[in-house]
């Protein structure tokens, strides 16, 4: 079965640094998402992306966050100036359309020191 691929699996960064988390969605999927899970907390929606623009975003997704589809295969999440509280597991997901089954990647564990 096709899978959503995320790289790296672990990312350690210093507070204030920029990080880019990378995702390769399933090739025929049109909708892309980022979720995150802070240790011990719920999985939280960050943003959805379709047709090269943000469809919806949560209150968490402030100006420090941005998403991009730089080419035909990658989908990235950028955090401009990381804070300690950005430490979390970040999940990318994709779907054929916005009501269909979500396929999740295995996640990137971001640690901000």
Partner 1 sequence: AQRVTQPEKLLSVFKGAPVELKCNYSYSGSPELFWYVQYSRQRLQLLLRHISRESIKGFTADLNKGETSFHLKKPFAQEEDSAMYYCALSGGGYNKLIFGAGTRLAVHP
* Contacts of 85 by beta carbon, 8 Å cutoff, 6+ apart: 38, 112
Nearer to partner 1, 93 or 112 (CB): 93
Residue 58 CB, nearest distance to partner 1 (Å)?
A: 8
Q: What sign does the dihedral 58-41-99-102 (CA atoms) show?
A: positive
Nearer to partner 1, 34 or 82 (CB): 34
Residue 14 CB, nearest distance to partner 1 (Å)?
A: 28
Nearer to partner 1, 58 or 66 (CB): 58
Give the Cα separation of 17 and 53 in Å (integer): 25
66, two tokens: 């941005």
Tokens 């469809």 correspond to what residue? 55
Backbone angles phi, psi at 86, to 5 degrees: -80, -10
Nearer to partner 1, 13 or 65 (CB): 65
Where on the chain is the footprint of partner 1 (CB under 8 A)? 3-4, 31, 33, 35, 41-45, 48, 55-56, 58, 91, 93, 95, 98-107
Beta-sheet pairing, 19-24 with 31-37:
unpaired
Residue 81 CB, nearest distance to partner 1 (Å)?
A: 26
Residue 17 CB, nearest distance to partner 1 (Å)?
A: 27
């Amino acid at each position: 079965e096709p899978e959503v691929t995320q790289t790296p699996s672990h990312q350690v960064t210093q507070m204030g640094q920029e990080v880019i988390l990378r995702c390769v969605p399933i090739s025929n999927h049109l909708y892309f998402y980022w979720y995150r899970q802070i240790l011990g907390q719920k999985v939280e929606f960050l943003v959805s992306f379709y047709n090269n623009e943000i469809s919806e975003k949560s209150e968490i997704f402030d100006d420090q966050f941005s998403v991009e589809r730089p080419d035909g295969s990658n989908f990235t999440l950028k955090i401009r100036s990381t804070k300690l509280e950005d430490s979390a597991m970040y999940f990318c997901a994709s779907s054929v359309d916005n009501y269909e089954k979500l396929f999740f990647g295995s996640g990137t564990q971001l640690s901000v020191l």
